[in-house]
Amino acid sequence: MKTLYKTLFLFFITTSICSATHLLGGNIRATNTSGLTYKIRVQLYFDAVGGGQTADSQNNVLVCFGDGNTAQADRISYTELTGDSKSVSVGIYELTHTYPSTGVFQISSSLTNRTDGMLNYSGHATEMFLWTVINTSVSNNTPELPDPLFSTGAKQVLKIDLKPINSDSDSTSAHLQKLSSPSPGTCGVRLLDYNYVYPNDVSKTGTFSIDQADKKLIWNAPEALGKYVYSVVIDEWRNGIKISETYREGVIVVVDKPGPTVEIPPYVPATESGIITSNPDKNYDALTLVIEAYPVPTQDYLTVKVSSKNPTTLKIQLINLEGTVIKEIKTSAKSLEWSEQLDLRQTVSGLYIIKAVDETGKTATKKIVR
What average pLDDT does this structure show over 269-285?
47
- C-alpha distance from residue 311 to each of 278, 303, 332 (Å): 20, 21, 12
Q: Determine contact, residues 173/295, Cβ cutoff 8 Å.
A: yes
Higher pLDDT, 331 or 41: 41
Quick one: pLDDT at residue 348?
Answer: 85
C-alpha–C-alpha distance, residues 368 and 370, integer Å: 7
Instruction: Place 279 in a pLDDT band, splitting at 50, 70 and 90.
Output: very low
Going by C-alpha positions, the residue among 210, 198, 91, 88 that lies closest to residue 149 is: 88
| Per-residue b or e along 218-250, where b marks 16 or more CB atoms closer than 10 Å to that residue's CB | bbbbbeeebbbbbbbbbbbbbeeeebbbbbbbb
Quick one: pLDDT at residue 18?
Answer: 37
**Domains contained in the chain, CATH given:** 2-255 (2.60.40.60), 288-369 (2.60.40.1930)
C-alpha–C-alpha distance, residues 11 and 253, integer Å: 10
Going by C-alpha positions, the residue among 292, 288, 313 that lies closest to residue 302 is: 292
Angle at 228 between CA 24 and CA 191, to 5 degrees: 75
Amino acid code (one letter) for 149: L
Highest mean pLDDT among 12-26, 118-132, 302-316: 118-132
Instruction: Place 22 in a pLDDT band, splitting at 50, 70 and 90.
Output: confident
The answer to whether residue 289 scores a pLDDT higher than 70 is: no
Q: Determine contact, residues 41/31, Cβ cutoff 8 Å.
A: yes
The answer to whether residue 56 scores a pLDDT higher than 80 is: no
Q: Determine contact, residues 190/290, Cβ cutoff 8 Å.
A: no
Three-state secondary-structure class, residue 366? strand
C-alpha–C-alpha distance, residues 255 and 279, integer Å: 27
Q: Determine contact, residues 337/306, Cβ cutoff 8 Å.
A: yes
Quick one: pLDDT at residue 280?
Answer: 38
Q: Determine contact, residues 91/77, Cβ cutoff 8 Å.
A: yes
Q: What is the pLDDT of residues 186-206, one digit of tens each?
A: 898 888 888 899 999 999 999
The answer to whether residue 346 scores a pLDDT higher than 70 is: yes
Instruction: Place 11 in a pLDDT band, splitting at 50, 70 and 90.
Output: very low
Quick one: pLDDT at residue 296?
Answer: 64
Q: What is the pLDDT of residues 57-77, one digit of tens each?
A: 889 999 999 999 999 999 999
- C-alpha distance from residue 205 to each of 122, 159, 286, 347 (Å): 20, 17, 14, 38
Instruction: Place 9 in a pLDDT band, splitting at 50, 70 and 90.
Output: low
Q: DSSP string spanning 76-89?
A: EEEEE--GGGTTEE
Three-state secondary-structure class, residue 357? strand
